Each structure stands twice: as C-alpha cells, then as structure tokens.
Structure 1
Amino acid sequence: MSLLTLHEASVEIERKPVLLQASLSVEGGEMVAICGPNGAGKSTLLKLAAGLHKPKAGHVAIHGRDLKTLSSHQRGEAVAYLAQERLIAWNLPAIEVAALGGLHLGQSDIMGRAQRALDMVGVGHLAMRGVADMSGGERARVLLARAMVTDAPVLIADEPVAGLDPDAELLVLERLRERAEGHSAVLLSLHDLSAAAKFADRVIVVADGRIVADAKPLDALTPDILREHFRIAGQWIETENGPLLATRRL
C-alpha cells in the first residue's frame, strides 16, 4: 500500500481552480520530485498532500486513511512538512527551533534528536545561535532539521534547496534521499531539473494545475514536455555524476 495517495483531488482558492483532478502515489522508500513552471500548482499540490488545503473534490490518504479523518495530532505524526516560506517568528536558538518538530513525540531526548538533525544538515555547530542571526540558507537547513526530527512516514518539502549554495544543496538532497531509503515516502518540489533527475525515483510534472507527466525522471522530462511546459529546448547528457540537462531558451 502507498504511504501517500491523492485521488482525483482538486483545489480551489478564492473560488478559482488551481489544482485539477490530481492523482499520484508515493511508496515508502521512494523519493518523488514535483517539477513545473512558476504558478503551475506545485505548492498547492504539496499543501494538499500535507493536509493544509482541503480538496474541493477527490481525497488524500495516508497509509490508506483519508487525511480529513485524522486529528491534527495524528496528521503531525503522519506527515512532516517543510514550507517554501522560511519564516520564524522569534529569534530562538536553532536547536529549539529544530526541537519543535518533535513536540508531539513526548520523548525526553528531544533535544538530542534536534542536535542530531542539525548535524545531519550541516548546521550542528550553530545549535545555540538565534535563527534571525543566520543567513537564509542556514535558516532553511534549520527548518529542514525541524521536519526531519519527526518519525513521520511521509516527508513533504517545498523547494528545500532554494537559496542554498551548491555544497549545501547536495547535502540536503543526499539527506532527503537517505530519508527515503529509510522507508519513508519523500515528496518534494524542485526547480533544478538536473537535481531532480539525479536524486528522484520519479518526476511528476505539473502545468496549469494539472499533472501532465508521472514517470522516471528522463521519461517525464522529455524534449516535448520541456518545450511545451517549461518553454525551453533541452537535451540530456549522461555524465559520471548523473544526468545533466543542457538547455536554451526557445
């Protein structure tokens, strides 16, 4: 059984359709990348999967249970979510922010878990620094650590590598890949198509509020899809570090 399933789910915002009949599934052990142009509906899809939007039609299920039947506590146990917005209201130390991800666990070692999560994403040395005193990239990794503190079987991340330098981007994607290999279902959005091809098991392409492709990365990101929905001409080049997309504007 899939850990995360969307079945013909649609979302309206201010009475405007923004996601139309989206169906997908993510298995445990699988990392799936959502790709598409700006405004395509990627963030809406991820928020729907995390239970932050109510479907106008269709449904979302975690481990076969309709998400709308779960309490907020049960959703917190089932789904870890990293928002695209890197907002933190108070200048708390990084370790306290990371620990917020595990408050529902009721474990005495929550600060230890938070420290280990910070170490995993390369900011463990900043554990006692206030998040307002960090760079945007450092703060983004603290928030990812907060999501990774949980034992939630589903992890959803909206542009987790936005604003990161190349080294940090690779580190974060490697950690998310490891999370999936630990039998979690990882669903994330990415603008970097080469990174999606390298790290994801599947790529789902969203355009104009619809899923237009769902396949292995190079089967989803075909020249026709790139031309029609991304407005670029693209050619995949095999390198020792994985597929690389060479592009030009049309």
Structure 2
Amino acid sequence: MTLLSLRDLSVTLRDRPVFSGVTLDIEPGELVGLIGPNGAGKTTLMRAALGLLPHEGQSCLAELDPGARARAVAWMPQMREIAWPVTVEALVTLGRTPHRARALSQADRAAVTRALDWMDLSDMRNRTATRLSGGEQARVLIARALAQDTPLLLADEPVSGLDPAHQIATMRTFGQVARSGRAVLVSLHDLGLAARHCSRLILLGQGRVVADGPPGQVLTPELVAQVFGITAFSAATEHGHVFQPLEVLE
C-alpha cells in the first residue's frame, strides 16, 4: 500500500515557481531522505504534500479530511515552539489526540511510553517542557510525532540542533520505525547522516527532482557538484554509505 503518492505536484509562491512536476511514491518500509540546497523547496514540498499550501497536481494526503489525515501522517515542522508549561509526558501524549475519544487507552499509554523511550526522555517525563534546553525540546517534539503512531511520518530538519549522539540515535529510531512497516520522509541538510541512514534519497534542485534512488546513485560526484557546487567523498562501506563534503567549487 502506497503511503504517499504525488503526481505532477507544483507550487508557485509570490509569483515564483518553487518546484514543478514532482511525481513520487513512498512505500511501507522506506526511510526516505529529502535533500537539496537552501531554497530548493524541501519544506514547501512537504507542506504541499500535506495540503497545507496551494498547489497544482495531486497528493493523496491533501485529499483526506483533517481527521483521516491526522491518522495517516504525523507532521513535524521545522519551526519548533512549545507554548505551554506542561510536562514532557503531557506534551508527548498530545500525539495521541487523533486516536482518542476521551480517556487514555492502554494503547495510548503504550505509544507514549515507547516514544519517550525512543527519544531518551523517560527520565524527563515529569519535567516541564518549556524549561528544557533547545535540543531536549526538539526531542520532545519528535517524540510527540512518534507517539501519533501513524503509517507515515514527515519530519522537516528534525535533527537540527541535536548533539551528534542524539542525531544518530534519532536517525536509527526512524530506521526502526520504517522497518516496522511504516515509512518516514525526512528532510536533511547533513548529507552524511542522509547517506548512512536513509534507504533512499530524493534530491531537489533547480525546481525539480534531480535524482531519486539509493544513496550511492544520488550522491555521485557529478550530481553533488551540479546541485551543491562542492566536491565530496562518497563510498559504500560495511556500515552503510559514507559521504563527506570536501571543497566548494570555484
């Protein structure tokens, strides 16, 4: 069952085309990295796929009513804000809202506990979320999205601001989520993390999808130079694909 289907999706903002003709499918079991330089349209693509922006073309998610969409996909935007001084556990529990009637069920509690464990927050569950560091707050918001327990997770720059250990741990968690039969679409600027942890990369540039496939087929010297304007080292290893930027092209 396809979890995200886009057909000829195009977005124009303030009379400027952001991207056009994006067609892709995301299937269960995939951890897909959405990559590209600043301004390539990664955030816009995710928001349009969710029906949050005017667009041309089709997105299977945009056609759903709000309740069905909230049960089909969890969305973690790049902008992070925790407005109320609630506990970490209470905030993560908000992820269960699309599934709840009134009282929390055993399944709700299990999903919240699992999300807290995944994001290394179990010992912080009773702390006030607004009093945490920026990186800790980011992990709480990721946990809230994970607690939603949807077939598809869309996360926009979720590891930005996390320390290296929690960046790796978060990407491993996303991989675990994908292997459980769900799917994750995550936008990333760190191409090293994308290369090592994602099963598939979608490269945006020049207003279109430049490449779509396994990391080794997308992060080639030619495409990296064309889209990012850099040279880089890229190789497959026993631990996954390794990518390291080297120099900016003149």
TM-score normalised over the length of structure 2:
0.92
CA distance in 2, matches of 1:208, 1:41: 9
1:35 matched to 2:29? The reply is no
Q: Is the 8 A contact 2:216 2:235 kept in 1?
A: no
CA distance in 1, matches of 2:242, 2:62: 40
Could you tell me which amino acid in structure 1 is paired with residue 37 of structure 2?
P
183-192 or 233-242: which moved more?
A: 233-242
The SS at the match of 1:191 is coil
TM-score normalised over the length of structure 1:
0.92
Cα distance change, pair 36–69 in 1 and its aligned pair in 2 (3 A): closer
* 1:17-166 alignment, distance < 5 Å: 17-55=17-55, 57-61=56-60, 67-106=61-100, 107-109=104-106, 110-166=108-164
1:186 matched to 2:184? The reply is yes
1:223 matched to 2:217? The reply is no
CA distance in 2, matches of 1:13, 1:100: 32
1:16 matched to 2:16? The reply is yes
What corresponds to 2:197 in structure 1? 199
CA distance in 1, matches of 2:111, 2:62: 29
Alpha-carbon distance, 1:40 to partner: 0.7
Could you tell me which amino acid in structure 2 is paired with residue 223 of structure 1?
P
Alpha-carbon distance, 1:83 to partner: 0.7
Q: Is the 8 A contact 2:219 2:234 kept in 1?
A: no
Q: Structure 2: give runs of 5+ residues left out of the alignment.
A: none
Alpha-carbon distance, 1:104 to partner: 1.8
Please list the CA deviations of residues 114-162 of structure 1 after superposition, one character each: whole Å capped at 9, or x if unmatched.
2321111111111111221111111111111111112311111111111
199-208 or 109-118: which moved more?
A: 109-118
Alpha-carbon distance, 1:240 to partner: 4.5
**Equivalent pairs: percent with the same residue?**
39
107-116 or 226-235: which moved more?
A: 107-116
The SS at the match of 1:69 is coil
Alpha-carbon distance, 1:222 to partner: 0.9
Pairs aligned (count): 244
Alpha-carbon distance, 1:193 to partner: 1.1
CA distance in 2, matches of 1:135, 1:68: 34
CA distance in 1, matches of 2:41, 2:241: 26
Alpha-carbon distance, 1:242 to partner: 2.8
The SS at the match of 2:12 is strand
- What is the RMSD computed on CA atoms of the aligned residues? 1.5
CA distance in 2, matches of 1:222, 1:238: 12
